[in-house]
Structure 1
């Protein structure tokens, strides 16, 4: 008889699984379902299918929703297993009845299946109330009378996926928003805003900065009120900050400080956190400034590996945002210092140039008179000495003028006056001043300046500086061959090119050619003199016209510099436009100083004895 009963139980609860064995051993007569002999066939079939299912599956039978489940669904009960087997859902899962109860009763009443994805269900499985997420399918199971006798449940625990996605979204938002901040203080305030809206994962947090073992609260979130300034909490004396900072190991704080709960807002699910985790944000214990983050732990989420990994990731992201912003702040501070230094240097150049210009101008007058005095001409040797002084003074005054021009351009005080000119005629005239010097040096000077078809708006004196600087530069580094000056129309722009057959420029030096004071190391030329300001002045003057400069060069073949300026005047400041009939006096000294300097580079050919 006993063997017969065992055979019936084996057929009713088939298989080697743990739950099948427990069901065979259970005294069902002491449960709401009664002896198995009285079970309807529909329940027996449902139980057989449930035990054979590889996925988590449960059965809630009758209006009392008596709980049955397979091995894969044991996680739903936690420590309530196995006592929960054969007990009413209302007892086993009473903490979740307010959420799941209406859904289950709807299935019993209507006979319609219900499906929910990632449903938040509070469960008390391991001695504490836990926020869990499940995807449910509640399927009505018909009894022998064709009425709904119970519910077959297929369940998937999606807690890890839901928490993972939510936490990843939090870290991503923290990263994106703090990346937009330009100051560390801005990062602190943004972190407070982001974390303050994420109390499910970060019930509260406090960020401390440690300097010389003294802590200072720099940011906090999740508190209903800020800690009292100068108090133990504001200065971190209630946390093991120094220990965490020096060891760089996280530390679990099992009990929050006394009266800390009064600072907290509403906790997750009405529960206030009772524990916290302290994490170091600094890579090195010996850093002058170290950061420690104290994060409250949601009492409804277990402190497992996933939660620890999330908090470490959060701490690393916050540390990265702070460090990168600190680097940006330092870079900005250094840039401001360099800019101020540059302004001081510019003012110095301007002041010194003004101080030098007056005495140089006063010197040049008497020197010119002495050299051209026909009544009392200087003797040969004296004439050479005075001429040498005069050339040096001219060169120095030319340099002073260029420095002054450059400082005016940098400070936006360039007094440019743009007017429509025949650019081809002006360029041809300017290039012609170098014809004699080129002939004396044994070089050819080719000037090809065809009409551009319309006047171009330029500042004539600035254009003169552009042409003279490019020509004198080409002359200086061309020892044989020749120079070519060409002006042409390209679309809506006029293009000036000055080409030479000189020594050329190394490729690695070309990107820096237009930098102020840059000179090519080891360049072979007619003279080693030069301030390195000529080409940078060309670039600034070209920009003043709304144009751009370019260079092509190959060592041993020569170089070609191009200046491109747009036609018309719509790109120019209206207050700087002169009328078509106005004329601007040109500086004869500028022209003469360039030509004289170039001629000074040509060695004198001794006459016949």
Structure 2
């Protein structure tokens, strides 16, 4: 089809009669129909001209499909139906225009053209792409045959109406009707099953018109509907709620309250239960705006309030712990600094210098114990603490614990009784950790018992279980303290009142260690001032085959001179470690960073290298890796000495090539054992 704007206007004269000055009438005149399947206008049958006049003059959507190709001719009202298919659809075969819905339209058109049978379709769904996207549309239409002058069928005439908007409106109406019909049921279901409590109170007496299940659960499932609120719930009087309701009823202003305390007595003889509620009172008004009732809605937040209080208490205990930690660390720091000043004084004789060194050693050991306790609690809480389980005898564990706490017990003049079974009691466990637990229990008994008190440790073995009880005549525990004492940072008495207060983690650590051994740790006290009993239960060894020999002190070994490389970027740490080794007669090479350590190791080839990890230039890990890559360093003993002491740190040191991983500080005796292990004579 060619549009030729320069040609003379067609359908002029007699042919133009009945063609309106509409958009499609103008389009009809401007087309050169001689180039189309319809042929020149002069040859159009009279029936086509009449049908075309009716179509173009109608304001109702109409179209004509004419000839074997069903050439499409339509009026202005039909343009919106076409969408973006207009104007290309005018004068083209219908099948090309309506390919997306031809499976519906084609058979009906064929029925009309071949048999002359008209069709009728009402509100039929057609999924069509007329505006750039698929859309559901609904149409009502009829196809009627148009006969030629000789009686044959030349085409079809269609009058149609789009029903999409009406169908959508009817569906929306039906939906709204259904919603309206279901509203009461839905509201009642929501009201009854709402997670929060809901009530509707009517009039100045606040009569319960409606309450839901949650409200009944809050007040004890009492019969309250239809009764004035404070007659139905007398136990809620004098708690401020009556005044709040009256204020909302009078002022018309809503009320919102958070975590309000509510004491409820569900039955006349029942106990008063303390609850906490988030609550809203909303005024209900009539058509004139007068307040005629109150809508009450809220949530029982008792558990949340208790949880928040618990968090506050935990935070408070944490702050107290940090204050105690500072106190406990300052205590040994003070004598250490003073002892250093004494040792450095030119006026101090050898006896005073020796005394100062003992003070420094003792207080540094105390700080190391505090640090290890903190690390142990952290490891237990993360499941990272590993026990060194072996066969042990109870008496050995008890003796080790008594050795560490005996000075404290003697300084407070306590009487200590130890009662053990006559036959040896054998266990499977970590002897150091078990001794640590008993030491904690005994030291706590000593700390929290006034001077000249009585402490008893007694053990019984029966039915595969070892039971150890540590009794004291100390300050005792309240019922609340007995529930909290094994928590982190928990202390019955502040360290300000007892200089041996500690960090408040000893019992938490002990409980964790006992549970790692498959046992239990519990406490009982008759009350404040009446002492305490800590009961430790542990499984016994399965058989006599797990008997152990008493450990004997290792025999001494004569010192041998060795060449040792020491590397640390902390000058004091480097120098002090070197001095200790030199005092034992060893030749010491000192490196202040990783690169210097690597250079010294390659040049001197020491018998042992002790390397810090966090050094500048090259870390201890990198130094170890590079030493291991050399021929001379493949078998050199390498010891990592670092402040990082987690199991993951030890694994990383091993992967880097270290022979052993040690955590700072290392006692001199352990340092000697390292030399003996890696540098045999």
Structure 1 length-normalised TM: 0.35
Q: Which has the larger radius of gyration?
A: 2
